[in-house]
Amino acid sequence: MEDEGKTMSYEELKRKRVAVLMGGLSSEREISLRSGRAVLQALQESGYNVFGLDAGRDMAQRLLQEKTEVAFIALHGRFGEDGTVQGLLEILGIPYTGSGVLASGAAMDKVFSKQIFIGHHIPTPDSVTMTQGEDCDALEENIREMLPVVIKPACEGSTVGVSVVYDMGALRTGLTEAFRFDRRALVERFVHGDEITVSVLDGEALPIVQVRPKSGFYDFTSKYTVGKTEYVLPAPLPPEVYRRAQELAVAAYNALQCRGAARADFIVDGDRIFCLEVNTVPGLTETSLLPKAAAHAGIPFSELVQKMLKGACLKA
């Protein structure tokens, strides 16, 4: 078993049997497969002893059968980004990329991560939490004062199950959609402004990307369909706002105790910056934001993937 927190050199890693974990069981399975295949190809071309593993319920058995020595996590959503796979790898003693069990679980839970942001004075939109089966009448007045609102499942990604609600008549429909994916829903004040994303690699903020979906809403289709969204890099923000957004991204990363690569999403309204969430396994597809930011910083995709792999270690 590797020592806690111990990382390896590139030379050591090239002598290891590396599994790229992809696919999985979440609603983001297809996106994860795309991320994983891109990572797999990049590592193969760079000379690593690497193989792809579609992470099903037999994952532990397959990792052991393949004599896996290092895991590159390219899993998005539940059972991959939420601390569960990280915990399994800790038990098996297999060093892995990215954040540990606690940080992964905290970041995946939008309700819990928002509480952490508030505790660390990281600005985030006002919200209330609804639980499936709860009588929402008591909270309707609070929600009415926040309109319009965004309703999100507490533990989903890629805008799955998300609705924008402009009047109370659509509230229950939005909650029903969110409850399809989680028993808790975050009802968050909709902030009008520019959507930006700040990737953080090993504690350092990368150039900021502004996201301009042609539909006006950065939903699943806008995120993963080429041509549906314009990406402006670097984001055209005033210097002080740009610097502050990078500082807040690193602050959110540290507050959650993230490691490796992560991505913080924000809304900018004038000089006000609101943190929406942190993703601990950012996408690595052809439309993904982390590779775009890294490339602008002079880090090509192959080098980015190797930097992420070099951070592989046990965290518990």
Active-site annotation, residues: 28, 158, 224, 263, 265, 277, 279, 283
**Contact between 10 and 306 (Cβ < 8 Å):** yes
How many whole angstroms separate alpha carbon 78 and alpha carbon 142?
Answer: 30
How many whole angstroms separate alpha carbon 93 and alpha carbon 82?
Answer: 18
- Alpha carbon 33 to chain centroid distance? 15
* Residue 52: count of CB within 10 angstroms of its CB: 20
- H/E stretch holding 72 reads strand 70-73
**Contact between 218 and 224 (Cβ < 8 Å):** no
**Contact between 212 and 230 (Cβ < 8 Å):** yes
| 127-131, strands of its sheet edge to edge | 127-131, 184-189, 149-153, 163-165
